[in-house]
Amino acid sequence: MATSKRSLQRLLSRVCRETRRTYGAPPQGHGHNPSPSPSSSSSQQLINLEYEYSAHNYHPVPIVFSQAKGSSIWDPEGNKYLDFLSAYSAVNQVIDLKNIIHVSLLTFSIIRLWLGSFMLVKFIPFLEGCINSCNYLALLTQRFKAKGTLTYFKNFSFHKCPFLKVCNMQALIISCCGCFHGRTLAVISMSCDNEATRGFGPLLSGHLKVDFGDVVSLDKIFREQGDKIAGFLFEPIQGEAGVIIPPDGYLKTVRDLCSKYNVLMIADEIQTGLARTGKMLACDWEQVRPDVVILGKALGGGVIPVSAVLADKDVMLCIRPGEHGSTFGGNPLASEVAIASLDVIKEEGLAERSDRLGQEFRHQLLKVQQQFPDIIKEVRGRGLFNAVEFNSKTLSSVSAYDICLKLKERGVLAKPTHDTIVRLTPPLCMSLDELQEGSKTLHEVLELDLPKMQKAKPEKMSSIASTTCDLLPTNLSNKC
Ligand SMILES: Cc1ncc(COP(=O)(O)O)c(C=O)c1O
């Protein structure tokens, strides 16, 4: 143990010495070098170290970020990449970190954490910014994002709102097949993703599922179980499921049904919110106002985790002192960062920009689809929240992850979701030329790399067993 610690320290100090040479201003005079030598690169050493010592809870595309500016990323060797992921929409806005950290340090030097026991001058502008930007009357802050989802379960599912009249401990939350709301026990209990649930448990009861976009089933379940249902939790566009857009009018009908049956409409806008889809909130596309909105990711501007639950006072003030808390919720640094994040979105008109550039980007991607109609099944998205879904049959043994590896080799960073979908969600500051570069690179991968990959890989085995939801027999009201 001691030896492995010492060797880790030795390796780290060597890697840091090497990395420091390229750290600072973005490296000059480097374009993308498509074949850096992995054995001599500090990237490879860092990848090996991470693989050796970090939990393997993600399956990253093997690239190390050393420097970033706008939509560009540099690795320690000075290779430049375009970011088409934005940390799953946590970096919607590229904010001036130096400025924020400077202001935050000043804040810290004059104020310390107050742990909810006193009041804090910095918290008020954050409250004001969030409430004004999203048009709600009250806010609950959290330190970690999943805690945002945790909060509304804890507080709203168990008859906290007097007007819900749901019997304590019998309350149900309805969620959607294919949903993703984080990794806490409460929300993985709703997940249809076997990898998130297998081997973990016991899962929580108290929830039922409906198909996303299916208002007939929602109406049925509300009608049959309405007296027990506290809330309907949904993503306005399902992100992890592969940027799944519901049918037109879905959000409006959900609003009507929730009002009719006295059920809280709870929108998880952690990924879709804050200008990502071309509106401040994705629910704004149908001018729908949920009872509860959860924000995370971009609220922290990609700098630190900040999350918040927004609601009006009739809902929010059901929480009484002592019933809920978060040690670091609304701390000065988080408040400062969140204020800046919201300011940048408004000042730079990022929602409008996302809408405009998103249309252009899909236009480009549709042209790629026209050239590979058998391979690309669908291009879909709203604003700069987009996905390309491949045809699993014609992709054959190649996965969306393999395609992402080839995109990376050609200087474009994206991540797959499921076996056949690549999500394309660049920072909202990305230029038209850079978007064009992204679609051109996808074209190159499909034209030049895909045939070689298909030759190199044996036929795929059927994966039906692994994609069928394990929870189906016990928890789901509908098929999943
Ligand atoms: C819609 C949605 N909800 C909740 C979460 C959970 O966020 P975190 O991983 O920060 O807890 C995510 C993360 O990707 C998300 O996309």
pLDDT above 90 for 446? yes
* pLDDT, tens only, 32-42: 554 444 444 58
Interval between CA 300 and ligand 1 midpoint (Å): 13
CA distances from 321 to 144, 175, 331, 335 (A): 20, 29, 18, 21
Mean pLDDT of the chain: 83
In this prediction, residue 226 carries a pLDDT of 83
**Pocket residue to mutate for ligand 1, from 180, 272, 299, most atoms within 8 A of Cβ:** 180
User: Identity (one letter) of the amino acid at 26?
Assistant: P
Confidence of residue 316 (pLDDT cuts 50, 70, 90): confident
Check 180, 212, 234, 385 and give the catalytic one: 180
pTM: 0.87
Return all residues near 249 (Cβ < 8 A) that are at least 6 apart: 286
Nearest ligand 1 atom, CA 297: 10
Ligand 1, atom nearest to 187 Cα: 4
pLDDT at residue 4 greater than cutoff 80? no
Q: Are 180 and 193 in contact (CB under 8 A)?
A: yes
Label residue 428 exposed, middle or buried (CB < 10 Å: 0-12, 13-18, 19+): buried
Residue type, 2: A
Closest ligand 1 atom to residue 149 Cα is: 4
Q: Which residue lies with its CA nearest to atom 13 of ligand 1?
A: 182
Q: What is the pLDDT of residue 372?
A: 98
Gyration radius (Cα) of the chain, Å: 23
Positive/negative CA dihedral, 184, 185, 191, 196:
positive
Known active-site residue 156: no
pLDDT computed for residue 3 by the predictor: 47
363 falls in which pLDDT band (50, 70, 90)? very high
pLDDT at 323 (0 to 100): 77
Torsion of CA 413, 416, 421, 427, to 10 degrees: -40
CA gap 424, 440 in Å, rounded: 13
pLDDT tens digit string along 122-138?
788 888 888 888 888 88
Instruction: Establish whether 214 is a catalytic residue.
Output: no
Catalytic: 297? yes
Q: How far does the centroid of ligand 1 lie from the alpha carbon of residue 69, in Å?
A: 25
Query: Residues with Cβ within 6 A of ligand 1?
Result: 88, 145-146, 149, 180-182, 235, 239-240, 268, 270-271, 296
Domains belonging to the chain, first-starting first, are 22-93+350-456 (3.90.1150.10), 97-348 (3.40.640.10)
Summarised one tens digit per residue, pLDDT across range 215-261 is 999 999 999 998 889 899 999 999 999 999 999 999 999 999 999 99
pLDDT confidence band for 96 (50 / 70 / 90): low
Residue bearing the bigger pLDDT, 232 or 471: 232
- Residue 451 structure tokens: 């045939």
Residue whose Cα lies nearest atom 16 of ligand 1: it is 271
Rounded (to 5) percent helix, strand, coil in the chain:
45, 15, 40
Strand partners, 309: 140, 294
| pLDDT surpassing 70 at residue 25 | no
